[in-house]
Every structure is written in C-alpha cells, then in structure tokens.
Amino acid sequence: MDSAFWLDFIRYVVMYVPLMAGTYVSFLILRYPDLTLEASWSLGGIVACVLVGHVPPIVAPLAGLLIGAVCGSLTSVIFVTIGRAKLLAGLLSYYILEAVGFHLLGDKASIFLRHSVSSFGFPDNAALAFTYYAILSALTLAAIRIWQRSRFGVSSRLVGENPRASLFFGLSINKHFASGLILSNAIVGLGGGLWAVNYGQASNVQGIGLVIKAFLALLLGHQLLLMIRRSKRAEPLTILVGTAVFVLLTLVSQLALIRIGAWSQSPIPWFRDTDKQVILAMILILALRLRDQRTGRKGVVSEW
C-alpha cells in the first residue's frame, strides 16, 4: 500500500461523509429506514449538473441541499398521510422522485459536464477541488454534532428510540420525524450534488444501493466502537469510523483483485465488482457475533 493508496483512501472518506451523515440521522437516530435518501442523492446530482450552465460550478452543488430538503418534506407528508408507515412512505416518495428525475434528464440516460466545469470548476487543480469538498464535509459533521447535542436533537433521538414513550413527555412524533427526514435528505442531496459536479456526470440510478451500503458501514462502525467499550448509543464518530472502514475494505478488495489477477495473469471469472458488498456483510455479521460474545450487549442493531 503506497502513498497513492492512502491518498485515495482520504479522498473517498471525505466524499462519502455527506452520504454517511444523512444515513446516520435517518437510520441510527430516527430508526427510520428511509429509501428516499437514494432519490435525494440522484436528484441532487442531476439538479446540480443542470444548474452548472447557469451558476458557477462551485455553487451548483449547494442546490442539492435544497432538493434533498424537498425530497424529505415529501416523505414526511406521505408518512403522516398514510398513518406513519415508514417503509411504505419511503417507497412511495422514491417512485415519485424517480419520475421527476427522468423528466429533468429528458431523453437522456445521464447528464455530462464539460471538462472545464467538472471538479467544481477546478479540473486542473485537484488540491483546490478536494479542499472545497473537505470543507463542506467538515461543516456537515459539525452540523450533525450541534444538532444531536441540541434539545431538539436529544428529543428526536427519544422519538426514534421509543415513539410511544415520547408521547408522555409531550413530544410531537410527526414534527420530530419530519425535521429529521428533511435534515437527512438535505445532507444526502448535498452529497449527491458534490459527487456529480466533482466527477462531471449524474444519472437517475446513481443512488441505487448506496444507502444500504452506507447503513451496513455505519452499523459496522458502531459495532467497532462498542467493542472498544465506547458509548452504547450511536454518536457522530460512528460516521467517520463507518466511512473509513467501508472505504478501506473497498480499496483493499480492489487491490487484492488486481494483485491476484496479476499473479494468475488472468481475471477471476466468477468474482464481480458487486460481490464486495457480500464481503462487507460477512464482516458485519462476524463483528456482531464477536461483540455479543464479548459484551452481551445488542445496542442499536438489535432493532434492525
């Protein structure tokens, strides 16, 4: 593992932080399996790319924040309307937003940006583009930490952990779920916009499967923190640990495949790139089993 490997590691950790942060709020704080996050990622990227021709590339990704908030608002309205059915609300919202994405794309399957406006308008200065990405990711983590330590954030955790008990404290379930969904989708929408403008392309299927991977990575990070006897509850550090583990496993598996292919002088015919998620799932299962044997605690994951 040379310096290029660790540079890629740092770069991808920074890029995945908004996705992990939004998934963290929805899945681990609110205990809400929101599939709308995938649509927010895709739509945030599409809208950001569409706007690049009208606003500076460095500003366009910020539109993903607004688009994500709109997506979260739609899910909140559906959630309240159909009687607080979490999974169904996310599914319905996802299919509605998917249709919106196809309308924005028109007859095209994807939208591509010119080289001169990719990387936030700094295509020939990777360091400057990375710095911009890193600043927004750091602000995202700071916002999550401030929100979680606020009175509203604490009450949102209570609503997520035990909605019935929260009623005895006079907390509004609908209000806390709605605000959490708007926050999580806004962050993921921002992440989608940043990713799309950085790489110069976006599509309506760009977010498919990302939220599930993010959730598994967060659970793995949470279990690792539990095994070293940190707080039983999920905390913002879970975002960084989960992201780091996910990126590390992805890069190591890619490097292993390259080395094996070079050693055998032929590709592995039965191994596909998507099989890496099987490896991640197996590692998570092993971590859960070892944690239960060592501590006897179930933590956040017991509810899933």
pLDDT at 274: 63
User: Residue 30 belongs to what domain range?
Assistant: 3-303
d(CA 37, CA 41): 6
- In the chain, the number of structural domains is 1
What is the arithmetic mean of pLDDT over 107-136?
A: 83
Contact (Cβ atoms closer than 8 angstroms) between residue 184 and residue 34:
yes
**What's the sign of the alpha-carbon dihedral 23, 29, 35, 39?**
negative
**What's the sign of the alpha-carbon dihedral 193, 195, 201, 205?**
negative
Tokens of 183: 């926050």
Q: What is the pTM of this model?
A: 0.88
Higher pLDDT, 297 or 127: 127
State the Cα angle at 100 between 98 and 101, rounded to 5°.
65
Contact (Cβ atoms closer than 8 angstroms) between residue 283 and residue 253:
no
pLDDT at 239: 92
What is the tens place of the pLDDT at every residue in 195-251? 999 888 999 988 888 888 888 888 888 888 877 765 566 678 889 998 998 888 878
What is the tens place of the pLDDT at every residue in 55-75? 888 899 999 999 999 999 999
Residue 36 sits in a domain of what CATH number?
1.10.3470
Higher pLDDT, 268 or 41: 41
